[in-house]
Amino acid sequence: MATQQEYSERLLPLLSEGLEPHVLSASPEQVFSIEALAGTLGEILEELEKQHIGASAHVQALVDEQPIEPWDGHGELAFLLYFLHNPPAALREEIDALPELRIVWDAMAAVAAPSPFTPALFNTLSASLPTQANVKCNQWGDIYGTGKYELLDTGWAWTLKNDLMNHMPKWLGKGYGIANFVTHDWKVPIKLKPGSGDKVTIAIIGDWGSGKYTLSGLANKNGPAIAVMDTLKQLPTPPDYLIHLGDTYYSGTGPNRSPKNEEAHNLIDMLKHYPSIAKPGHCFTLNSNHEMYGGAYGYFDVALANPLFSSQKGCSYFAMEYEDWIIAGIDSAYFDPSIMYMDGGLGKKSKDPQYDFLKQIKASGKKSIVMSHHTGLSTDGASPSKYLWKNVNSEIKPAFWYWGHIHLGVAYSSKAYSGNMNTRCIGHSSMPFAIPPGMASCKKNIDWYADTPLDSTEALQAVYYTRQRAKNGFAILTLSKSGITEEVYEIGNVNPVWSN
């Protein structure tokens, strides 16, 4: 396997020959480092190869019903190396229409390791995978399949295209670069207002921005995002506020990227169907890796400009308070130092104002709740995340921390790395996932996880990572003068499946 340095050295002459005429003729006075670009693209290639080799070996063994070590990598990156070599025809047309991107894409494909699959073998593999209730999955329930948002879905190929566009100079136009970061001092947090009595209820949905799609085994043909909102609507009392922990798919795009306007179609338009829940100024949404794939243009310029999210003041982090509680929503994606925004982090203190923001939250003296897209812990709860755990805990020790990113519902126990900090993953509000085999080995770190079969009429074939699809869900957080209550719900069930 080639290293980032080796890939960068192979890329540099190809990029220099191809890009210099385009960049210099477009704006000679602008500074752009092709060497730095080669370094970044080399890091991307190293990661794509690692993910694809692991995933391809794992899924092939599962299809052949041969035992293999578990693969628990970044699921949505699993087949991007294959798509780099074999982009869908529509995507290839889009790449060819952007000369600078075509040079980058073709240079990467020229030096990248080959995929273990030819198109014929990929199609054979795809056809051999189950599509109904019992599916092949990795350790944490990411489904090997070609259905919408499953790991072999060709739609993920556009996330690679959009991420590569982020690394091109913004002054070239054409949707290149990333949106500007917006700051606000939040010295006066948003004052939460109870809907009834002295309680404030907050619905928490994560990784919800999928739009409508048909999910095998789900009776609601509009898909799990709609099923989640329908269940929320059926609760005895609608929530006072709603927080989306981030991820609008595939790339949270605005009008300047393709597929166009995902942020509008898959987030805003979906929420507008539920005016009793999604009220202007009462909705909040976090930045994420998928919003960043779209250059965060859709997130900052479309989502945060909508009246639904007006309380955020165009900012990707926010503070709100009620009684002796204060909630800090943070942007774990914009300054994330990891490749393709997968690990989450606040980056350098000299660049990210959120370090001071968290100090300000701590100085309030109130009990704090942190909301982020990326995780604070490893999925098994045994270790801290690569960057974000230290970034947050260097400034504040929250009482509760909610995140998404991993498409699971999990309440971590006091035996997890977080100890007595209450840490929760609510990343299972819309994406397809299977009951995760890996949870069996880490139950001591977990008080609850989402494991209700989506279709209870199907018998489980528990062999080699064949598992049943699981039900999506959401959380309700209730703040009051006397304390805090947590409840987790599953689609189609108005009784909580876990509470604290």
| Mean pLDDT score, 319-334 | 97
Residues 93 and 107: their CA atoms lie apart, in Å, by 17
Q: Is the pLDDT of residue 332 over 70?
A: yes
**pLDDT score at 465:** 85
- Tokens of residue 146, six digits: 């070609």
Place of tokens 């955020």: 312
Q: Which residues contact 28 (CB under 8 A, 6 or more apart)?
A: none
> How does pLDDT run across 254-309, given as a tens digit for each residue?
999 999 999 999 999 999 999 999 999 999 999 999 999 999 999 999 999 999 99
Q: Is the pLDDT of residue 464 over 70?
A: no
Q: Is the pLDDT of residue 27 over 70?
A: no
- Angle (CA) 422 401 190, round 5°: 130
Q: Judge contact between 412 and 396, C-beta under 8 A.
A: no
Q: Which domains does the chain have, with CATH numbers?
A: 4-167 (no CATH), 190-499 (3.60.21.10)
Q: Judge contact between 459 and 466, C-beta under 8 A.
A: no
| Mean pLDDT score, 161-173 | 95
Q: Which residues contact 53 (CB under 8 A, 6 or more apart)?
A: 1, 113, 116
**pLDDT score at 434:** 96
Confidence band of 352 (pLDDT split at 50, 70, 90): very high
- Tokens of residue 39, six digits: 């370094």
Q: Tell me the three state secondary structure of residue 117.
A: coil
pTM of this prediction? 0.97
**Residue percentage of the chain with pLDDT more than 90:** 89
Helical packing angle, 89-96 and 157-166, nearest 10°:
20
- Angle (CA) 437 440 444, round 5°: 145
- Angle (CA) 428 285 269, round 5°: 85
> How does pLDDT run across 379-425, given as a tens digit for each residue?
999 999 999 999 999 999 999 999 999 999 999 999 999 999 999 99
Burial 19-39 (b: 16+ CB within 10 A, else e): beeebeeeeeeeebebeebbb
Residues 356 and 395: their CA atoms lie apart, in Å, by 8
User: Residue 107 CA to chain centroid, in angstroms?
Assistant: 28
Confidence band of 463 (pLDDT split at 50, 70, 90): low
> Hey, how many other C-beta atoms are within 10 angstroms of the C-beta on 361?
25
**pLDDT score at 431:** 98
> How does pLDDT run across 81-125, given as a tens digit for each residue?
999 999 999 999 999 999 999 999 999 999 999 999 999 999 999
